[in-house]
Amino acid sequence: MTLRSPFAALRHRNFRLYWIGQCISLIGTWMQRVAQSWLVLELSDSPFLLGVVGALQFTPIFFLALPAGAVADRLPRRKLVMATQAAAMTLAFVLGTLTLTGRVTVTHIMVLATLLGVVTSFDVPARQSMIMDLVGREDILNAIALNSTSFNVARLIGPSVAGLLIAATGTGWAFVANGFSFLAVLVSLALMDLDEHPTPGRMGLLRDIGAGLSFISRTPAVLAVFLAAGITSTLAMNFQTLLPVLARQEMHTGSEGFGFLLSAQGAGALAGALALASLSTGGPRPRLLWGALFAFTGLETILGLTTGPLPWGRSFAVLMPLLLAVGWTMITFTASANSTIQVSVPPQMRGRAMSVYSMLMQGTGPLGSLFAGAVADRWGAGWAFATGGGGSLVAALVIVQWLSHASPAREQGCPTSPPAAREEGRAV
CA–CA separation, 34 and 85 (whole Å): 19
DSSP H helices, 218-364, are: 220-236, 239-245, 255-278, 286-307, 316-344, 350-358
CA–CA separation, 234 and 303 (whole Å): 17
CA–CA separation, 261 and 327 (whole Å): 11
CA–CA separation, 148 and 129 (whole Å): 14
Q: Any idea which of 21-25, 159-163, 367-371 has the lowest mean pLDDT?
A: 367-371
Across 338-348, average pLDDT: 81
DSSP H helices, 5-46, are: 13-44
Across 330-356, average pLDDT: 85
Q: Which residues contact 312 (CB under 8 A, 6 or more apart)?
A: 306, 318
Q: Residue 257: pLDDT above 50?
A: yes
Q: Residue 159: pLDDT above 90?
A: no
pLDDT (0 to 100) of residue 188: 95
pLDDT (0 to 100) of residue 427: 33
CA–CA separation, 81 and 182 (whole Å): 12
Q: Count how many Cα atoms sit within 13 Å of the Cα of residue 233 in the half-sphere of its side chain.
A: 23
Q: Which residues contact 61 (CB under 8 A, 6 or more apart)?
A: 117, 120, 121, 124, 358, 359, 362, 363, 365
Each residue's pLDDT tens digit, 268-312: 888 888 888 777 665 667 888 899 999 999 999 988 888 765 555
- If phi > 0 it is left, if psi is from -120 to 50 it is alpha, else beta; for residue 102 that is left
pLDDT (0 to 100) of residue 123: 94
**For residues 85-117, b (16+ Cβ closer than 10 Å) or e, as one string?**
bebbbebbebbbebbbeeebebebbbebbbbbb
Residue type present at position 223: L
Radius of gyration in angstroms for the set of CA atoms belonging to the chain, rounded to a whole number: 21
Question: Are 357 and 226 contacting, i.e. CB atoms less than 8 angstroms apart?
Answer: yes
8-427: what fold? Growth Hormone; Chain: A; (1.20.1250)
- 10 Å Cβ neighbour count for 148? 24
What is the value of pTM for the model shown? 0.75
* CA-wise closest residue to 86 among 156, 182, 163, 202: 182
- If phi > 0 it is left, if psi is from -120 to 50 it is alpha, else beta; for residue 45 that is left
Q: How far apart are the first and last CA of the chain?
A: 37
